[in-house]
Structure 1
Amino acid sequence: MKFKLGDFVRFVDEKREGYVTKIIDNQTLGVTDSDGFEIPVAVSNLTSVHGHGSVAEDEDTPKPIAVNVPAINKIENGIYLAVATDDKVGNVVHFHLQNQTPTILLTSLTTGRKDKYAGAFYGMLEAHQSTLVYSASIPDLDIWPEFNFQFLMFSKADVKPAEPLVVKKKFRAKDFSTDQKELPQLKHKGWLIRLDEQAPVIDAQKLKESFYKSAAQEKTVNVPEKEIDLHIEKLRDDHHFLEADEMLQIQLAHFQNALDAAIVHHFDKIIFIHGSGNGTLRDKIHKLISKNPHIKTYMDARKEKFGYGATEVIFK
């Protein structure tokens, strides 16, 4: 029998039940019991409990589910991926492909990880329909594969055929940093991601005009503080969902903007509070400072207050 994430199962050799929360391999599943412990269990030692929550299916390919059309006016026409949380298994999410267009979609989803690929879904999706295409466990986000969608749009109407659409999506923690919302077509909360988002159209005339702004129209540079705190929690409220390299880039960008502003406003000196940590941010900042022709010298700032967690920059 084929099980999927979110299925409610019973152990064959003992009196225990739980939800499938991880696909370890073809022969082993992770099952979380009522005590909240995830246990590796052989597939042969599990049986599906019908009529309780999600039920395992015999077929690998999810079938399109017809939905009520009136719900589509809540969002703009397009192709969406609704990432819905599981009501019974909090760490599992289900990916529903939603066709919010008047055309029929011929769709395939292939997952890829480290140059290894697997077909996850293929099928035809009618206009204003939704279908389950994938399930995953949130704690395993770091090892989720890359999603490769391919779409062909078909219409019987007298319209010019659209170009085939290929969408590659690699999920990061920041994709789930916003609050969950009620998902159209589904009786679940989660996140709605548009897959056919078009790149913004650049107005050539406005772009040309932007190069000829008068001095009065030039954006002024705000005067920075005398002490700039670069701790990520001071810069971003969603820092818990950012990866280490993303945090570092945000901190360096904030540092550079403040440094440039201090030079524009003819500061004598400025202090950057970067913390001690592993020293990566401090080293990056010192490297940038050492190459700046407007800087006379730099040193550890007020050790009695910051220790080695701050740098004072002296301008020429």
Structure 2
Amino acid sequence: MKFKPGDKVRFLNQSGGGIVTKIISPQMVSVAIEDGFEIPTLTNELIKTESQDAGGRFFDKDYKVSMPPTGSENANANDQKSALAEEEEHERIFAIKKGKGAEASSVWLAFIPHDQKWLITGLMDVCLLNPTHYDMFFSVLLRRPDNQWSGADYDVLPPESGITLATLSRDELGDWLEGVVQMLFQKELQQKPVMPANAAFRLKPARFQKEDNYIENAFLDEKALLVNLALVNSKEISPEQTEGAEPSFESRVQTPKPKALIDKHRIAPFEAEVDLHISALKDDYSKLSNHEILKIQTDYFQKCLESALEAQYRKIIFIHGIGNGTLRNTIVEMLKEYEELSVQNASFKKYGYGAIEVVNQRPE
């Protein structure tokens, strides 16, 4: 349900209600209650009571909460609202540290846990990071369950800064697993123009359940799960191209993706073969226990699988070898979390009983 300042609301999970005073994020608003306090409240815990339908009339009640005067009642009201909006906008935009090399030339989506000791629980901020030297006009679209796209946010992000797009509970993370970020880069003076970028992202829920995925980084004081959206590159445009002609395809600035881990195992276009034998992963494993060996193998399997999905690979062969079946059974169990993947024995002629074939049935 959409709310706006001035809406009369009632709490669903407790008695009482109040009036919406400001929008904190798409999922949270501030509600003024009768005793004068303002309470940040999730929108899914509120119901609007000024509706004319039966439900609205049932919950309707006068909470005697006053709102700031508007219109002709106060000539300064619009100025106050404008100042408040600017203050709120300033609060959600923050400075970030300077990265180096490709890091500083990329745009990032960051998921930052509020509790840095317990990274896989509690609230989380979704932020967009712009470490480049360009002002960035952006728009964020999210895919809905009905396969429609909804606009989540849009704004202008200054150079070397970040912006908080939303604050989510873990139950709300599903709304941010798939989306598109559209970006336009601007400088007052540019010798090398940068073309717009259109970056799609798709994340697996399992990524948010591993503490190792929240890393220390060049931009923030906090650990965060980072998604590289675009490498901001530039290229000279010749005088001939500026004389009323559209630049040729070859002259257009591209936004190449960083090299994926799975690419080192590529055997054909969008196909890979990953050897999970411990001898292929570790030079010296003589002092490792069976448990330690299995952990190294399954961790590498998980990283390669996630990398393959992000790089839109269609088929991955995982060579597990012929042993007591522990590694095979473990990775097959892990694969059950991925509905879009089908699993079968790999070619017996080539691998015997020592490999499985994973097929992505929904590559982009």
Q: Give the TM-score of the pair, scaled to structure 1.
A: 0.50
1:97 paired with 2:160, answer no
Q: Structure 1 residues 222, 103: CA separation in 2 closer, same or farther (over 3 Å shift)?
A: closer
Could you tell me how far apart the structure 2 residues matched to 1:81 and 1:115 are?
Answer: 22
CA apart distance, 1:109: 0.9
Q: Which residue of 2 aligns with 1:39?
A: none
**How far does the alpha carbon of each residue in 1:26-46 deviate from its partner, in whole angstroms, 9 at most, with x for none?**
738xxxxxxxxxxxxx9x99x
Could you tell me how far apart the structure 2 residues matched to 1:62 and 1:151 are?
Answer: 23
| Structure in which a larger fraction of residues adopt helix | 2
CA apart distance, 1:100: 0.7
Could you tell me how far apart the structure 2 residues matched to 1:222 and 1:238 are?
Answer: 10
Contact 2:31 2:39 in 1 (8 A): yes
Matches within 5 A, 1:77-156: 77-87=105-115, 91-113=122-144, 114-156=146-188
Matches within 5 A, 1:230-309: 235-237=297-299, 253-254=317-318, 256=319, 258=321, 271-273=324-326, 288=345, 292-293=348-349
Q: Structure 1 residues 238, 136: CA separation in 2 closer, same or farther (over 3 Å shift)?
A: farther
- Matched to 1:154, the amino acid is Q
Could you tell me how far apart the structure 2 residues matched to 1:135 and 1:194 are?
Answer: 20
- Matched to 2:228, the amino acid is R
Unaligned runs of 5+ in 2: 1-19, 49-59, 66-83, 232-255, 260-266, 268-274, 281-289, 310-315, 336-341, 354-364
1:24 paired with 2:44, answer yes
Q: Which of 87, 104, 107 is residue 76 of structure 1 equivalent to?
A: 104
Unaligned runs of 5+ in 1: 29-41, 48-57, 202-209, 211-218, 247-251, 260-269, 298-316
CA apart distance, 1:19: 6.4
Contact 1:96 1:132 in 2 (8 A): yes
CA apart distance, 1:101: 0.7
| Structure in which a larger fraction of residues adopt strand | 1
CA apart distance, 1:153: 0.9
Contact 2:126 2:166 in 1 (8 A): yes
CA apart distance, 1:87: 4.7
Contact 1:148 1:169 in 2 (8 A): yes
CA apart distance, 1:138: 2.0
Question: 2:179 is paired with a residue of what secondary structure?
Answer: strand
CA apart distance, 1:107: 0.8
CA apart distance, 1:193: 2.7
Question: 1:258 is paired with a residue of what secondary structure?
Answer: coil
Aligned residues: 229
Q: Structure 1 residues 183, 17: CA separation in 2 closer, same or farther (over 3 Å shift)?
A: farther
Q: Which residue of 2 aligns with 1:206?
A: none
Q: Structure 1 residues 134, 163: CA separation in 2 closer, same or farther (over 3 Å shift)?
A: same
* Identity across matched positions, percent: 16
**How far does the alpha carbon of each residue in 1:109-135 deviate from its partner, in whole angstroms, 9 at most, with x for none?**
111213232211111112112211123
Q: Which residue of 1 aligns with 2:227?
A: 193
Could you tell me how far apart the structure 1 residues matched to 2:109 and 2:329 are?
Answer: 40
Q: Give the TM-score of the pair, scaled to structure 2.
A: 0.45
Question: 1:235 is paired with a residue of what secondary structure?
Answer: helix
Q: Structure 1 residues 272, 147: CA separation in 2 closer, same or farther (over 3 Å shift)?
A: same
Q: Greater RCO between the two (CA within 8 Å, min separation 6)? A: 1
Q: Structure 1 residues 233, 11: CA separation in 2 closer, same or farther (over 3 Å shift)?
A: farther
Could you tell me how far apart the structure 1 residues matched to 2:300 and 2:185 are?
Answer: 37
Could you tell me how far apart the structure 2 residues matched to 1:275 and 1:236 are?
Answer: 11
Q: Which residue of 2 aligns with 1:309?
A: none
Question: 1:115 is paired with a residue of what secondary structure?
Answer: coil
CA apart distance, 1:141: 3.2
Q: Structure 1 residues 169, 73: CA separation in 2 closer, same or farther (over 3 Å shift)?
A: closer
Q: Structure 1 residues 288, 236: CA separation in 2 closer, same or farther (over 3 Å shift)?
A: closer
**How far does the alpha carbon of each residue in 1:151-190 deviate from its partner, in whole angstroms, 9 at most, with x for none?**
0111222323222101111222354332544566655442
CA RMSD of aligned residues (A): 5.6
